[in-house]
Structure 1
Amino acid sequence: MRNLLGLTVVFSAAWCAGAFAADEAGQEAFNNNCRTCHSWKKGDNRLGPNLNAIIGRKAGAAEGFGYSEAMKNSGITWDEGSLDKFIANPNGFLPNNNMKPFSGIADAGTRKQIIDFLKSNPE
């Protein structure tokens, strides 16, 4: 029984360490690619809108940010798929948005790290 408890503790610690490392990698990917213009803190709009609770939010709906007409009228509700396509190629996914000069992130792994980080809704 003691061995089972010990294994449970070891595997739990390993899982937590892996989850923490993934969160850290996602935050680093966000910081390296997005933070110049965006924040993940609610209400902290910068050159771009805050991305807090972006999953499930309608495009062009962050309070207090002046969006392009294309974004406001897009009808998009952000989910993992639409975010991935937008981050990969903003102008290809939604022409006439205001993400210039950002042209996108080609690496699917980096995009996934960013999206997973945003899904965690850090504040």
Structure 2
Amino acid sequence: MKHPCFLPGLAAAMLLAAGGASAGDAAHGQVLYKTMCMSCHSIDYNGVGPAHKGVFGRKAGSAAGYAYSPAVKASAIVWNEKTLDQWLAGPEKLIPGQKMGYLVPSAQDRADLIAYLQQESARASSAQAAK
């Protein structure tokens, strides 16, 4: 019989070998957000880029009060873990003609940022439900 810790270790090794990131760390994602994203974005308000509050489950190009590119407005993308990962890995590849000129090459950094955005979206939903 195999040792019970063998299978999780094997799964982690296979994930790393395949180039995937481990589960996101929202606390590290918050640090990354502050250093990488906040020059253009905010969780709560539109700036150079749109606000990220409630981004999970939101259709791309639909945050109120932000002037999106026609390409983003016309896309049928709904933001979730997969679409945000694709966006952060290569915005122009996901939506040609968009106007974000920044990408996050590290799969782990993307996972951490997405975990943070997901956490903040959940907080926004909870706050909205409490009203």
Q: TM-score, normalised by structure 1?
A: 0.76
Cα shift readout 1:6-42 (whole Å, capped 9, x = no counterpart): xxxxxxxxxxxxxxxx43211001112111101112x
Quote the offset at 1:74 in angstroms.
0.4
Aligned pairs, number: 98
Per-residue CA shift, 1:84-120, capped at 9, x if unaligned? 00001111111100102x2x11100000000000001
Q: Does 1:119 align with 2:129?
A: no
Match of 2:42 among 39, 44, 52: 39
Partner of 1:90: 91
Q: Distance in 2 between matches of 1:40 and 1:114?
A: 12
**Percentage of matched positions with identical amino acids:** 35
CA distance in 1, matches of 2:36, 2:85: 14
Which amino acid in structure 1 is aligned with residue 68 of structure 2?
Answer: Y
Query: Mapping of 1:18-97 within 5 angstroms?
Result: 22-41=25-44, 44-97=45-98
Give the distance between the partners of 2:58 and 2:71, measured in 1 at CA.
16
Aligned to 1:4: none
* Displaced runs of 4 or more, over 6 A: none
Task: Give, as a single letter, the amino acid of the residue that structure 2 aligns with 1:106.
Answer: P
Q: What CA distance in whole angstroms lies between the structure 2 residues aligned with 1:90 and 1:70?
A: 11
